Amino acid sequence: MTAPLLSTAERLRAHVGELLRLAAPVIVSRAGLMVMMAVDTAIVARYSAQELAFYGLAHLPGNIMVGTGVGLLMGTVMIAAHALGAGNEAECGRSWRRSMPYALLLGVIFALISLLGVPLFRLGGQTEEMAQGGAAVLAVLGLGAPGMMLFITTGFFLEGIKRPLPGMVVMILGNLANGLLAWALVWGHGGFPAMGAVGSAWATTIVRWAMGLSLVAYAWWMSDHARWQVRVPVADWWSGAGRQRHLGYAAGLSIGVESGAFAALGLFAGMVSPLALGSYTVGLNLIALPFMAAVGLGSATAVRVGVAYGQGDKRDMAMAGWTGLGVTSAILAAVGVLYYALPEQIGAIYTTDPELLASVAPLIAFGAWILVADGGQTVMSNALRGRHDAWMPTALHFISYAVVMIPVSALLVFGLERGARGLFEGILIASVVSVSVLSLRFAHLSHR
């Protein structure tokens, strides 16, 4: 009896160690996206509460497009990880080359959609002033979409071959550059005019292009590029990538539904008042920041499950998924304790406006309850996709966030008049439903 127990313990330690090794750079890279938004949010919030409302409104569709792009390009990391597990290194490089024109195509589509801000926001029930202000920010953000898609798909390729460190380095440098640019362009330092929220959008767009091109350059010139055949042309970038896109369609729709549901909640907040929208923007940003740790751990979990899938090792697939959920839950629970204990101090980082701080502090404290459930559901959806269960997580996400979260939140906000707190209560209910059904699905497949 002792030997099998020791063997299981050793395998668990190996899974935890490999998960953290892969996840640490990915966490920094993913968290960097939210750190960039957090810094911009703080800079714009200190400049003007009205400009913060414009900024928050523009990022509702902006985040949907980025999230959808992440999902649509997720086939890159899946195919690269499966090929690595099967010992087919050339296919790893081909998965990246096929994804490059696809990423640019998505970026151009998102840029064109970003020009439609005014009619989109009018349809969302916003005032004319809010629609015009948010649309100006969204149009500038859209210009950076192609660069962002290049960064995402190249980062996925590198993560799939277990080389996530370059994406982390590029993201750190990008955040430093973005903070400096946003400070200059929002407030008008260094000889620039004060541009408010539009200035933060220009900073983000410039940095997104710089990050995308830098990571592409690394992949092209890395010392062992011949091993992965990253420079070998592929003529079938569309026809030869059907399976790769299929994996991405499910993930893209899943993330798009989830992002769209959160955007709907933002529109609800805007209907209440600009103060409610500003509070929702800050509160959601503080949930999203540690959530990026879950995204990084989820990506590493998908790679671990995907490699085990490529090797045909059912036991390792199950252990990789449950290990990802356990580690993620422990990390986010620790962050939740901090949020619950120090909501006013954390809120003061974003604003000195007493009214906004009084509104956002209770949301920060309540967000502590959301973190574990929300992080757990993204890890389990990635674990399922790592073993090629592509569409069921999408269906379960739709139920949790479109069928449950939107109507429940609308009832809490407008029917029971619970304001911005009602939005966060709706998020908690949907996240608990989501992590529960996804975990049951993974358990079912693990025992089948």
Three-state secondary structure of 72-131: HCCHHHHHHHHHHHCCCHHHHHHHHHHHHHHHHHHHHHHHHHHHHHHHHHHHCCCCHHHH
The three-state secondary structure class of 222 is coil
Nearest alpha-carbon partner for 322 in 382, 368, 369: 382
| Rounded Cα–Cα distance for residues 271 and 102 (Å) | 37
8 A C-beta contact, residue 30 and residue 288: no
The three-state secondary structure class of 102 is helix
8 A C-beta contact, residue 116 and residue 141: no
| Rounded Cα–Cα distance for residues 434 and 424 (Å) | 15
DSSP tag of 240: G
8 A C-beta contact, residue 380 and residue 438: yes
| Rounded Cα–Cα distance for residues 310 and 320 (Å) | 13
Place of tokens 């399976």: 243
Task: Encode the chain (448 residues) as per-residue pLDDT tens digits.
Answer: 333 444 566 766 766 766 667 667 767 777 777 788 878 888 998 888 788 889 988 988 898 898 889 889 988 888 887 788 778 888 888 889 999 999 999 999 999 999 999 998 898 788 898 899 999 999 999 999 999 999 999 999 998 888 888 988 999 999 999 999 999 999 999 889 999 999 999 999 999 999 999 999 999 999 888 888 888 888 777 877 777 887 778 778 877 777 888 888 888 887 777 778 878 888 887 887 788 778 778 877 877 777 777 666 677 777 778 888 888 888 898 888 988 888 888 888 777 778 788 878 888 888 888 888 888 888 888 888 777 776 788 888 788 888 888 899 889 888 787 877 888 889 899 999 998 999 888 888 877 6
Place of tokens 């800050």: 282
| Rounded Cα–Cα distance for residues 43 and 406 (Å) | 30
Q: Transcribe 375-432 into DSSP letters.
A: HHHHHHHHHHHHTT--HHHHHHHIIIIIIIIHHHHHIIIIIS--HHHHHHHHHHHHHH
Q: How far apart are the first and last CA of the chain?
A: 25
Place of tokens 């091993």: 227
Which residue blocks in 312-353 are alpha helix, DSSP H? 314-341, 343-347
| Rounded Cα–Cα distance for residues 30 and 37 (Å) | 12
Nearest alpha-carbon partner for 68 in 141, 175, 183, 148: 148
**Count of alpha carbons within 13 angstroms of residue 356, beta-carbon side:** 25
Angle between helices 128-143 and 145-160 (to 10 degrees): 50
Place of tokens 């100006």: 136
